[in-house]
């Protein structure tokens, strides 16, 4: 009996010691993690700037000009008055001021970086967001050590929301740029900036997702999504890895309150730096142009084309006389690679083409009727409102349905004729279309008695008649044609 008691006591001692050792190890691990974040802050902070922008505006008496294009301040005015007084950052005019020209103050962040041609002895370039400095009459930047400089805009690109400002001073520390294409979901990242005017604020999180291209913020998107806290004022600041190298530029948040909700977006530094270097070298961005309409391969479409899911993008339309047309690209081709780089998503492919210098030659690998072919294309120059490789307008929110252009394979699948109408690929439950009995697989031949030949024409016909809030559709399902009138 004594032996049993001794063994039990010994076991309890060993377990307790093991638990204490594990606890000490966990605490030590947390200490090391904290030291890593502190090290990043020490390395990065000297290169991050607070940007203050003054703009002219016309404000009526008693109206508030809310900064950042957002809703009311998430914590109300009182909190910020306690820190900043009556005229806290953001430039909200006080009630009682007369209508007329007012000077509002906006704010954001930025960081020093080395241009492609290296650092200059008398000029420092700072990367930030276009929306931070757009329309600025004057720009002032402040470094962590208290030094302040007047800055001017070197170049802006609203389509990507990237801008470069410059100050006439040299010898300022520049951040290293990482290769954002190697970033993986789950990696630690650190955001540094000036949220709500609170300078040199550090937040920590992980990469939640990469390649977000349908956010609807910019024309050219390839966002890094992170749960590191990003708030108004963080715009333009760096998102860095644990080595202190920039992986992205903080740009936007998803928020219903105007404040942090766990979803932030950053422009990958590979894209941002490519745009920034063009702005420095020529003051503008010249984008490559193909002249095609593309769409994502849904599982059903991939099955129809006998292609592995998630591989390639579908060519829905080729603009006559465009570089793609001259290269022999056809409607119904599936682009699976561009310059030997796999193509899996529309947004990243569009960005890759856009960043290809006009006049250079590229290689398109396509699947056509089950066979793989390689086409050589001379990239054109994007002009005016043209799109590098546009996506067909497919949505009809008022009706609750989605359509696609009838490519030859789709036409064969649905017993239709290519170029005659559009096929309904999805119908939202409970929508106008669903209540009218419209089903996936129906072919819409006419909108308000006008023939439609592709998804773009369908979208335009709806848009032209949107004010009437009703539409007449001619549909065919199988061998049966019928009219459907919808009102919203």
Q: Is the pLDDT of residue 88 over 60?
A: no
**Residues 266-276: what's their mean pLDDT?**
94
Phi/psi at 144 (5° precision): -60, -35
CA 197 distance to own-chain centroid: 24
Gap between the Cα atoms of 314 and 330, Å rounded: 10
C-beta of residue 388 within 8 angstroms of C-beta of residue 287: yes
pLDDT, residue 114, reads: 92
Question: What CA–CA distances, in Å, run from 130 to 155, 157, 212, 387, 434?
Answer: 9, 6, 19, 20, 42
Residue with tokens 């041609």: 117
Gap between the Cα atoms of 274 and 152, Å rounded: 20
**Residues 327-356: what's their mean pLDDT?**
88
Mean pLDDT score across all residues of the chain? 80
Q: Is the pLDDT of residue 203 over 50?
A: yes
Q: Is the pLDDT of residue 191 over 90?
A: yes
Take residue 146 and report the two structure tokens written for it: 């208290």
pLDDT, residue 24, reads: 66
Higher pLDDT, 441 or 408: 441
Q: Which of 127-131, 160-164, 215-219 has the lowest mean pLDDT?
A: 215-219
pTM of structure: 0.66
Residues acting as catalytic residues: 131, 161, 235
pLDDT, residue 11, reads: 58
List pLDDT tens digits, range 34-71: 788 888 989 999 999 999 999 876 544 333 333 333 33
Question: Could you give the domains of the chain?
Answer: 46-167 (2.40.10.10), 180-282 (2.40.10.10), 288-381 (2.30.42.10), 395-487 (2.30.42.10)
pLDDT, residue 9, reads: 55
Q: Is the pLDDT of residue 73 over 50?
A: no
CA-CA-CA-CA dihedral for 271, 272, 278, 279, to nearest 10? 160
Gap between the Cα atoms of 399 and 470, Å rounded: 10
**Residues 268-274: what's their mean pLDDT?**
94
pLDDT, residue 391, reads: 55
CA 211 distance to own-chain centroid: 8
**Residues 371-385: what's their mean pLDDT?**
85
Task: From 68, 79, 37, 54, select the one nearest 235 (Cα to Cα).
Answer: 68
C-beta of residue 373 within 8 angstroms of C-beta of residue 364: no
**Residues 237-266: what's their mean pLDDT?**
85
Q: Which of 295-309, 356-370, 387-401 has the lowest mean pLDDT?
A: 387-401
| Residues 123, 128, 132: CA angle, nearest 5 degrees | 120
Q: Which of 118-132, 138-152, 304-318 has the lowest mean pLDDT?
A: 304-318
Task: From 325, 192, 164, select the one nearest 266 (Cα to Cα).
Answer: 192
DSSP helix, strand, coil percent of the chain (3-state; round to 5):
25, 35, 40
């Amino acid at each position: 009996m004594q032996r049993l008691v001794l063994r039990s006591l010994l076991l309890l001692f060993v377990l307790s010691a093991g638990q204490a050792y594990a606890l000490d190890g966990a605490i030590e691990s947390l200490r090391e993690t904290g030291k890593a974040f502190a090290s990043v802050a020490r390395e990065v902070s000297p290169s991050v700037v607070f940007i203050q922008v003054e703009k002219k505006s016309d404000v009526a008496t008693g109206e508030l000009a809310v900064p950042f294009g957002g809703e009311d301040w998430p914590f109300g005015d009182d909190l910020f008055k306690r820190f900043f007084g009556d005229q806290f950052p953001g430039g909200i005019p006080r009630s009682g001021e007369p209508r007329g020209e007012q000077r509002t103050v906006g704010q954001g962040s930025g960081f020093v970086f080395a241009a492609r041609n290296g650092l200059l002895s008398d000029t420092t370039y700072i990367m930030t967001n276009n929306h931070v400095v757009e329309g600025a009459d004057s720009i002032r930047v402040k470094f962590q050590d208290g030094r302040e400089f007047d800055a001017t805009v070197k170049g802006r690109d609203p389509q990507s929301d990237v801008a470069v400002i410059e100050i006439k001073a040299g010898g300022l520390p520049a951040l290293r740029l990482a290769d954002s294409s190697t970033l993986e979901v789950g990696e630690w990242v650190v955001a540094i900036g000036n949220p709500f005017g609170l300078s040199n604020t550090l937040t920590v999180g992980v990469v939640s997702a990469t390649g977000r291209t349908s956010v609807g913020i910019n024309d050219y998107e390839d966002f890094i999504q992170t749960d590191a806290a990003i708030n108004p004022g963080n715009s333009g600041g760096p998102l860095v890895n644990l080595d202190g190298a920039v992986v992205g530029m903080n740009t936007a948040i998803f928020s219903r309150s105007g404040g942090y909700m766990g979803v932030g977006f950053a422009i990958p530094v590979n894209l941002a730096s490519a745009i920034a270097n063009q702005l420095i070298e020529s003051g503008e961005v010249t984008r490559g142009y193909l002249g095609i309409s593309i769409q994502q391969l849904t599982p059903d479409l991939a099955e129809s084309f006998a292609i592995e899911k998630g591989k390639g993008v579908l060519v829905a339309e080729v603009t006559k006389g465009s570089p793609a047309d001259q290269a022999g690209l056809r409607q119904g081709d599936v682009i699976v690679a561009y310059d030997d780089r796999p193509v899996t998503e529309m947004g990243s492919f569009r960005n890759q083409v856009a960043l290809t210098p006009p006049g250079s030659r590229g290689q398109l690998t396509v699947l056509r009727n089950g066979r793989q072919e390689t086409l050589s294309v001379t990239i054109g120059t994007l002009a005016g409102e043209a799109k590098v490789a546009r996506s067909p307008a497919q949505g009809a929110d008022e009706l609750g349905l989605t359509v696609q252009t009838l490519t030859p394979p789709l036409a064969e699948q649905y017993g239709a004729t290519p170029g005659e109408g559009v096929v309904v690929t999805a119908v939202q439950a409970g929508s106008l279309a669903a209540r009218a009995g419209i089903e996936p697989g129906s072919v819409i031949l006419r909108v308000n008695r006008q023939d439609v030949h592709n998804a773009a024409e369908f979208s335009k016909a709806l848009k032209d008649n949107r004010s009437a809030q009703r539409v007449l559709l001619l549909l065919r399902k199988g061998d049966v044609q019928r009219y459907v009138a919808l009102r919203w």
